[in-house]
A and B are shown apart, each in its own frame.
Chain A
């Protein structure tokens, strides 16, 4: 089943800036994006680390937040991006 994840950090300004954009995307497209905080929740951090071989090559060789990840297609977008770019990821 297609699952949309957003890995984020509580004290990451880019993640904070992306939140209203994520809300807008959910509202406009009807998709649901699961928000997973990674610095204060070890389970979420381990989950993100488990995707490292897929995510790191797409994010400068590292695990970075915010990262948007589609678990079915392995499509990932990282960093603070424009709404249109996030929409493209969320509607593939």
Chain B
């Protein structure tokens, strides 16, 4: 079961079955201590940036895609509609749920549809030449010889 851990040196928060051996922020070894959910939520909530809008999210997923085999869909209309849905879902339902799926109202199941999800296993992506995630926000990066229209 996943739990919250806090680096006692720099207060990085980690959520997982076990903590990292080395804190990725301050590089101190064996620095993580198990903490309560309340403590983690308080720390994360207090230090969270005020306002994380669509542009911030778009920049984040572009950055996230940079060193991966996929990229953000170059179709701005499609991306715009999806971002609207993702943010509406966060506002109305609590998390950035995929607008092209539906919550099952089972927390663990629903975590699987928070954007970005683990779309590399989607049948629309895995083993598909011009694969994309189910909603199409991420597409397989074309080979260098191919040109994106």
Whether, in the assembled complex, B105 has its beta carbon less than 8 Å from a beta carbon of chain A, the answer is yes
Q: Are A9 and B100 touching (Cβ within 8 A)? A: yes
A49 touches B82 (CB 8 A): no
Kindly provide the distance from the CB of B33 to the nearest chain A CB, expressed in whole angstroms: 36
Instruction: Verify A60–B123 contact, CB threshold 8 A.
Output: yes
Determine if A13 is an interface residue (Cβ-Cβ < 8 Å). yes
Q: Is the CB of B124 within 8 A of A48?
A: no
Asked if A63 contacts B104 (CB within 8 A), the reply is yes
What residues on B are CB-neighbors of A62 within 8 Å?
101, 104, 109, 112-113
- B85 on the interface (CB 8 Å rule)? yes
Q: Is the CB of A40 within 8 A of B92?
A: yes
Among B85, B92, B103, B105, the residue within 8 A (CB) of A12 is: B85
Size of interface on A: residues with Cβ below 8 Å to B: 22
| Contact indicator A14/B100 (Cβ below 8 Å) | yes
Q: Which residues of A contact B3 (CB under 8 A)?
A: none
Residue numbers of B with Cβ under 8 A of A are 77-78, 81-82, 84-86, 88-89, 92-93, 99-105, 109, 112-113, 122-124, 134-136
Extra contacts besides A9-B85, A9-B102, A48-B102 (13): CB < 8 Å: A9-B99, A9-B100, A11-B81, A11-B88, A12-B81, A12-B99, A12-B100, A45-B103, A62-B101, A62-B104, A62-B109, A62-B112, A62-B113
